[in-house]
Every structure is written in structure tokens, then in C-alpha cells.
Structure 1
Amino acid sequence: MATQATQGFLARVAGKTKQLFALVISTGAADAGKIVATGSDGRLDATLMPVGIGANTIIAAASEAIGAGKFVNFYSNAGALGVRLADNSNGRQADGYVKDAVANAAAATVFPLDTTNTALTGLTPGARYWLGTAGGVIVAALDPADTANTGKLCQELGVAKSATELVTDDLGYVVL
């Protein structure tokens, strides 16, 4: 017998006692009136929340493979909103980030700046970070006096809260 991930309860159904389990994910109106449970992360799934309540995210088609925690850039892809890796070397400012890896042509869930990117590694708590190349971060701002940086973007992204969390800011960018 398979084990249920949620707690069960006893209920009277059609005059008989039956064991039921709480919902972790909703399929919509068919699940109306049912008892809900938290998922393996201890939180309610977004499908169980009222319309308008949930993560502040934007869904867009990825035009390349994007790794977890990478900063991304929105752009017009044949008239539709697309997302690609942000990069300080080619004019692609960071508009947000992804927490989960995304395959090329798949739907990317993008979190906006001014939130916490929890999908990074190797950060130093308290250190500030700037946009690097290929959606990555660097620990120092680009030097505007260095002619090798002419035309590159200098965009401060935020401060590390821990080795894996960057509290981002939407501070804009400067073209050097």
C-alpha cells in the first residue's frame, strides 16, 4: 500500500466511515469544499490560493536554456514577451531571475527584482553583487575608467543575506 504524503482523517460518506486525505494541489472547481494540506515544503501550493494571491511572477518563453538562480532579461521575441540570460557585456539588463532551471522554449517563471533570489551559491553574507555575464553575478562594480568596459552595463543587483540568498534591488543600470 502506498503511503500518503498528507495526513488523513475519517469522515462519514454515504453512511459509512471512510478515510480521506487533504488536498495538496487543486484542480479547480471540482475540489471546492475540500480540506487542504501543506506540501513537502510546509507551504500551501499556489493552486490552493484565491485568484490574485500568490507569488509575484511573470511567465515568459525562454529563448535559451537558463540555469537556476540566473538573472534574466525580458525582450520582444517575434512580438511576444520572451526571456533570456541577462548579461553586462551585451546590453541585456537584469529584469528578474528564475529560481528553477528552464529549458530552451519552455515557460520560465520569472521573479522580479526587489525580492530575494534563494537559488544562488557561494555568496558572502553582507557583500554587494552586480550583474555579470550569462545571468551570473560579480562581486565588484565594473570600473568606468577601464576602456575594456566601454559599452557594458553596470547594474547593482543587491546584497547577500546568506551564501544562497541575494536580496535584490531594482536600482537600474548605467551604460559605461
Structure 2
Amino acid sequence: MVDKLLQRKNGKTQQYTPVTQSAGAADAGKIPALNSSGKLDPTTMPDGIGAATRLAPATEALSAGAFVNEYANNGTLSARLADNSNGRVATGFVKAQVSSGQPATIWPLDSTNDQLTGLTVGADYYLGTAGGVLATPLDATDTAQSGKIDQRLGRARSATELVTDDYDYVVL
């Protein structure tokens, strides 16, 4: 429910419902209201302000919070699960579940993945398999890790939030 305001229009006082999303120029001069998340909708913000997300079709099912690897799929930027065991470095993550073939909103590393569970506050996390995370880095001296990707993703702010950064990775 959006709170209403009073406005004078044509000499009369009327209730007015602020917009929660913008249709562009048609909504010029209108008063915005917070959306159901308690935030301004990105459509009400000027160009260049807001999350630097990207859209790409998912080539496999992605779960909320999964780290993804963006790649060229027959000339089209696409998203699949990042995986330390098969050369798929993490280039971002998704905050919502996405079915294969559907567009995925990819959040960049350098933002907060708030769709995880079981994290330890203050602990560093690393790329795991199938879009997941590991609490310990891979051991470079373990020959069983040869060819795998050791990629630090970020530090846990809470049990559900991983503040990510665009760290470099190493192929062991």
C-alpha cells in the first residue's frame, strides 16, 4: 500500500498516489514513493545511478545466490554456474533463481550477495563448485587440486551476506 498525499488540482484538494515505478517522460514532475522493498525503484533513478547489473540468458538453471561465469555462447554473452573445477571463474552472481534459457540479472563482483546461508561473520570465502562457495582456499601444494581455480570472492558481513570484490584468481 502506498501512502497518499493531498494536492490542489483545478482549485480542489484531492488525494494523490505517488508513483512507485516510472514510465519515463510521461511521469515527469510526479512524486515517487518507496516500493515494497522500502527502496526507490531503479526506474525512478537517473541513468547511471543504481546497481551495475547486466542481463544475459542463462544456459543452465541458476539458484538464488549462485556465482556465475559469463561467457560467449555462439557470439552471445550468456551465464552459467561458476565452478573452480572446470575453469569457470566467477564474474558475478544472481540474486534470484533463473531457469535455463531465461534472462539472468547478474550482479557484479564488488557488490553484496545477500542470498547465501550459513556464512561465518568476518570469514573469507572462495569459489567452490556449481556456483557455490568454500570457507577455505584450495591448497596449492595438493596435487589433487592441479588445474582448479583458486578465487577469493569476499568476506561475510552476516550469515547471509557476502561482500564480494573482484579479486584475481590463480589456476593451480
Q: Residues of 2 paired with 1:78 and 1:34: CA distance?
A: 44
Question: Tell me, what secondary structure is at the counterpart of 2:144?
Answer: helix
Residues paired across the two proteins, number: 172
Name the SS for the 1:110 alignment partner.
Answer: strand
State the Cα deviation string for residues 141-172 of structure 1 (Å, max 9, x = none): 11122222111111111111110111112111
Amino acid at match of 1:6: V
Taking structure 2 as the reference length, the TM-score comes to 0.95
Structure 1 equivalent of residue 77 of structure 2:
81
Q: Could you tell me which residue of structure 2 aligns to residue 139 of structure 1?
A: 135
Q: Match of 2:7, SS?
A: strand
Report how far residue 17 of structure 1 moved: 3.3
> 2 CA distance for matches of 1:66 and 1:114?
20
Where does residue 52 of structure 1 map in the other structure? 48
Matches within 5 A, 1:1-176: 5-176=1-172
1:106-158 residue CA offsets vs partner (Å, 9 max, x unmatched): 11111111221111110000111110001000111111222221111111111
The letter of the residue matching 1:52 is G
Which shifted more, 71-80 or 5-14? 5-14
Distance 1:143 1:12 in 2: 69
- Tell me how far apart the structure 1 counterparts of residues 121 and 93 of structure 2 sit (CA, whole Å): 19
Query: Unaligned regions of 5+ residues in structure 2, if any?
Result: none
Q: Any stretches of 5+ residues in structure 1 without a counterpart? A: none
TM-score (norm. length: structure 1): 0.92
